Structure 1
Amino acid sequence: MFADESLDPVEFGSAWRKERLVSEQGCQTRDLQTEESEVQAIERADVEIQTDLGVDLDYDIEQDDSPELARFLAKVAPEMCKQLDQNSRSHAFDGYDINWDEENLAVSSIHTLSYPEMEQLNVTALSWNSTGSVLAASYGNLNHEDWCTHKSALCTWNLDRRTVEPNKPDTVIDLASCLMCISFHPLQPSWILGGTFDGEVIVWDTSKDTDMIVATTGIGDDSHREPVSKVHWVQDPGSKGKRYNICSVSSDGKILIWKMDQQHGTLKLKDGHILLTESLPRSMRVRAKRGDQEMGVTCISFSKEDSETFVIGSESGGLFKCSSNFRGTPAGRNVTCSVDLRSPVTFTLQPHHGPVYSVDLSPYHRNLVLSSGTDTTARIYSMLQAQPIVTIEPGAGYLFSAKWSPVRPLVFAVATEDGQLLLYDLKSNQATPVHKLPASPTKQPVYTLQFNQHQRQLLATGDGAGVIQVWQLSDDLSTQQPKEVETLAEVAELASE
């Protein structure tokens, strides 16, 4: 079929030395017009002035051992020491603090921001970046009755710019479903973490011009099966504070810990927990349901002193103290996951009478928890007892968000269903807000609020019509008062009485 065969060679003459034919052509263009104009320049002049030469002076310290000085000191020293000792024990100047700046007594709105294309959606979450200069807002619908068909967006505004365009965000990232929650990275000022209605967790880098997605969970076997309620950056225990993992909670009851793989652009599941109905008080359990049924998680807050301790709120109204080291009852057989999911609940607090919308651990006391929900109450708990220490009923409808101030240990803010921002100061009054502010121009529900950790006088709110307001707090609400931490500790001690 095949055989060897020799063929005669074939030659091709080289043509590279042949002379190429070229020709020149001209075309007509318009004459270039130029103009010269004079401009005014700054004239400078140098002038010499006479100064005195510096003279180094020699100082001699003389020793005075005179008997007169010794007699004088012996006479006055006992009285001076007595007076100094009295001053050290005096409380005459307790609470006195010198303020060299002009005092600002008012709380005022300094920015009203919106994205016109999202005016039909709610502001679902707000977050300040690590420098305190950029505010991010997520848009979505918090009242879904069916599948999500909305187009949403993530928007950012840099408020340190000389001119802020209130209706034109600096960055807009469009999404195919509602964006339910966001959180800026604690150290990287351009990284934003978000969770969607479809159960996806995404990290964006807004410093990029295109393809801002750094990593994502996608929609896979390990991803959430229900909308993501909250996302949070948590320190990796093995990195000594230099590296962060990601925590996400959802209506499917899962509390998942993700590790970022930037090289492959993915978030890999590292660990996880699950909230089970067995953690509810017996009076709230449904007899027909098994104890290993999952229960939706609505919010989460981590301890500032111990990253392994956190508190979660649930759709049932339950509040639970948890530990990432505790491995309780495993998930039921109907839950599939690549990691072992177990209950992290170590203690159950007295539940709200309806879903819990917000929970926040105090940055100044390891045991104090602030919560709010649909039962129209805001509560302060100690994690050492089940009953709340303080219960506040503003009479303003559902309370969608409640946050401790990052600078005033006794101050917290509450966002209400009737469009108000309520500011409380436990030093002044526990039951009545010191400021009641209209936080929605159209009296829509205020769904979210966020203090600025780095610019202490700023607080932002977002309402149901897509409008964001940035507030400048008064000096008394943004400057820590003497012995305020001690007063907060006294509030916490009410739990033991």
Structure 2
Amino acid sequence: MFTDEVVDSVSIQSLWRKSQQSSQESRGCQTRVVHSAEAEAQTVSATISCTQTEPQYQATQQLFPNHDELEPPGLKDFLQRVEDTVIRELVKNAKSHAFDGFQVNWEDHSQLVSCLHCLQHPSAHERGLHVTSVSWSCTGSVIVCAYGRIDDGDWSTEGSCVCTWNLDRRALNPKQADLVIDVPTAVTALCCHPKQPALIAGGLYSGEVVIWDTSRTQDPVLVQTGMSVDSHREPVYQVAWVPMQKKGEFGVLSASSGGRVLIWTVDSDQGRLVLNSAYALVRQQVPHSSSSSFKVSLRIRENTVTNQSTLSEMYFRLKTMLVHVLSLSLSLSGEVQIFDLGRRSLRPAATIEQGDQGQAATCLAFNCQNPHLLAVGKTDGTVGVWQLSTDLTEQSPRESAQLEQIANQVAE
């Protein structure tokens, strides 16, 4: 039988807990004592300045010497003798208008001009070709340069070229032309069309007159004169577009070293230049003087007919261009001197110097749209594009009157 019975409880202690407590150890570490310090510094600045003028008695003594001292002998007599003459000249100068409008230029001349671009074609530079002519397009953004030689007096068959640069192009490369037109002989003259920017008239060393069309990529030669009875026999050193009788029509005027001035019209049907008028310059009509401007009478031969009853008067200016009453002079040393005729001074208002010394400046041309830009060609094959300041290009009221007077004299 089962019976209830109370017995004592039995407890057993854990040996694992004791073993774990006995194996625990404590560790500790400490760094050395860190010392800190604070320091401050401050500088002291002091400025001492002082000025002092000369004593008043010293300045008075320098300006007004002692009257007790003896005057130089003869000084009083001299002043009395010239008193009337000096007063008379002073009154005369006060009434004179010789220096009316004269303004002293205190600015540095080097600041009046600045070089924007120095253009050069590598092939022409390697062959030692010279820049013979420059011209601006009617838009004022494209500059055309002709290459040839000016130091070769013999007949030459050496080829040359015509190069163009668009100055408004972002990727402008001054050392590489945008367009190169190869020409079998030296180009001696250039002139861009006043209305059509793609047309360029040129004169060659062989006596031919050519019109190039830059819009034609395959063959840019639009028309040319060729070697005929009516064409030039000598190098053509000047070409220009001139208005004809028909409104909007332009012809090409060409002048050669032989004294012949010819006017050509473009025959689109036949694709050639047709002679319209011819002029002859007699040697006796050229004055033997050093004047830069002279007037000559030319006999006209119209349509190759020997009728010499009509006379025409033309003005020639040698190496001179007038803008804002400016006179530009080219030198063999490569300098371009700009004279302002309104200042009445023999010294140049500005001087353009570029490249090596001894390389002559051969040609120049103003931009028709921007009169501040001037292109100068040299014998080293470079074309410099210079910017003139407003002091050299803006017209004063007096200069406008002078230009109007010159225009009226030429019209008469």
Task: Report the TM-score when normalising by structure 1.
Answer: 0.55
Q: CA deviation at 1:252?
A: 2.1
Secondary structure, counterpart of 1:264 in structure 2: coil
Distance 1:141 1:341, change over 3 A: farther
Secondary structure, counterpart of 1:111 in structure 2: strand
1:371-428 superposed Cα distances (whole Å, 9 cap, x missing partner): 34xxxxxxxxxxxxxxxxxxxxxxxxxxxx32112xx2x1232221110011111122
Query: Which of 223, 226, 229 is matched with 1:221 structurally?
Result: 229
- Which letter does structure 2 place at the counterpart of 1:320? K
1:409-459 superposed Cα distances (whole Å, 9 cap, x missing partner): x12322211100111111223411100121343430000011111012100
Map of 2:243 onto structure 1: 235
Secondary structure, counterpart of 2:269 in structure 1: coil
Q: Which runs of 5+ in 1 are unaligned?
A: 1-94, 96-103, 285-312, 332-336, 350-358, 360-370, 373-400
Contact 2:161 2:182 in 1 (8 A): yes
1:196-243 superposed Cα distances (whole Å, 9 cap, x missing partner): 010110000111211111111011121111111101111002x13x01
Contact 2:147 2:162 in 1 (8 A): yes
Distance 1:277 1:483, change over 3 A: closer
Query: Which of 152, 174, 179 is matched with 2:160 structurally?
Result: 152
Q: CA deviation at 1:342?
A: 4.6
Map of 2:367 onto structure 1: 452
Contact 1:280 1:348 in 2 (8 A): no
Secondary structure, counterpart of 2:171 in structure 1: coil
Q: CA deviation at 1:478?
A: 2.1
Map of 2:272 onto structure 1: 266
- Which letter does structure 2 place at the counterpart of 1:402? T
Secondary structure, counterpart of 2:320 in structure 1: strand
Distance 1:215 1:485, change over 3 A: same
Structure 2 residue 352 is matched with structure 1 residue 437: yes
Query: Which of 273, 296, 321 is matched with 2:296 structurally?
Result: 321
Secondary structure, counterpart of 2:401 in structure 1: helix
d(CA) in 2 for partners of 1:280, 1:229: 17
Tell me the matched-pair count.
300
RMSD: 3.2
Map of 1:475 onto structure 2: 390
The higher radius of gyration belongs to 2
1 or 2 for the larger relative contact order (CA 8 Å, sep ≥6)? 2
- Which letter does structure 2 place at the counterpart of 1:178? A
Map of 1:251 onto structure 2: 257
Map of 1:47 onto structure 2: none
Secondary structure, counterpart of 1:427 in structure 2: helix
Contact 2:112 2:392 in 1 (8 A): no
Q: Which runs of 5+ in 2 are unaligned?
A: 1-100, 102-109
List aligned pairs for 1:40-439, cutoff 5 A.
106-119=112-125, 120-237=128-245, 239-240=246-247, 242-280=248-286, 319-322=294-297, 327=300, 338-340=304-306, 342=308, 359=316, 371-372=317-318, 401-405=319-323, 408=324, 410-439=325-354
- Which letter does structure 2 place at the counterpart of 1:252? G
- Which letter does structure 2 place at the counterpart of 1:404? L
Query: Which of 399, 403, 409 is matched with 1:484 structurally?
Result: 399
Contact 1:204 1:212 in 2 (8 A): yes
Distance 1:342 1:124, change over 3 A: farther
Contact 1:402 1:413 in 2 (8 A): yes
Q: CA deviation at 1:270?
A: 1.1
Give the structure with the higher percent helix.
2
Q: CA deviation at 1:348?
A: 9.8
Contact 2:157 2:185 in 1 (8 A): yes
